[in-house]
Amino acid sequence: MELRAKIFLLRYPKESDVESWYKNYQDPEIAKNFMTVPKSIKEAKAELLVRDKNQELFVIDVSGEAVGTIDIHDIISGHKATISYWVASKARGQGIATDAVKLATAYALNKYKLKRVQGYVRTFNKPSARVLEKAGYILEGTLRKNKLKNGVYLDDFIY
């Protein structure tokens, strides 16, 4: 499966993506926004290549290089899904994340006949909130103490 945009494509992950995916996940700017981070290449391979039936994970591919992911998960056909994403530092600030979110959202809405696609963003992650806003998402509120990570409760915006 491939979804094409002007400067990137969204495609399903392949084994050759695992090493760069793992390396990018070690970026503190990425890791601090996720509940878990793979601790080894083996963990990364399992997380990247094994999907459940209520999820579609796409690699953001620029010129053959995996520079991020878009994850459509918690899919309830005919109702809703949740979107998550990240991009490597070298791909930030170019509109790639926004365009990838738009493309993946349109795909999910159409394929699964969804009424909504929602996204959660840590309240400290203003650039990610801006991605969703530029992609047409509307801030619905703040979920206080929504996640517990390393003994600290984190607040999330919900779009």
pTM of the model: 0.86
* Amino acid in position 70: I
* Entry field: residues in the chain: 159
Q: Which of 1, 48, 56, 46 is nearest to 20 (CA)?
A: 48
DSSP one-letter string for 116-130 = EEEEEEETT-HHHHH
Q: 2-119: which CATH topology?
A: Aminopeptidase (3.40.630)
In the chain, where are the structural domains located? Answer: 2-119
Which pLDDT tens digits describe the chain residue by residue (159 residues)?
Answer: 888 888 999 999 998 888 887 777 777 777 667 756 777 777 777 777 777 889 999 999 999 999 999 999 999 999 999 999 999 988 888 999 999 999 999 999 999 999 999 999 999 999 999 999 999 999 999 999 999 988 999 999 999
Residue 145 CB partners (closer than 8 Å, separation 6+): 153, 154, 155
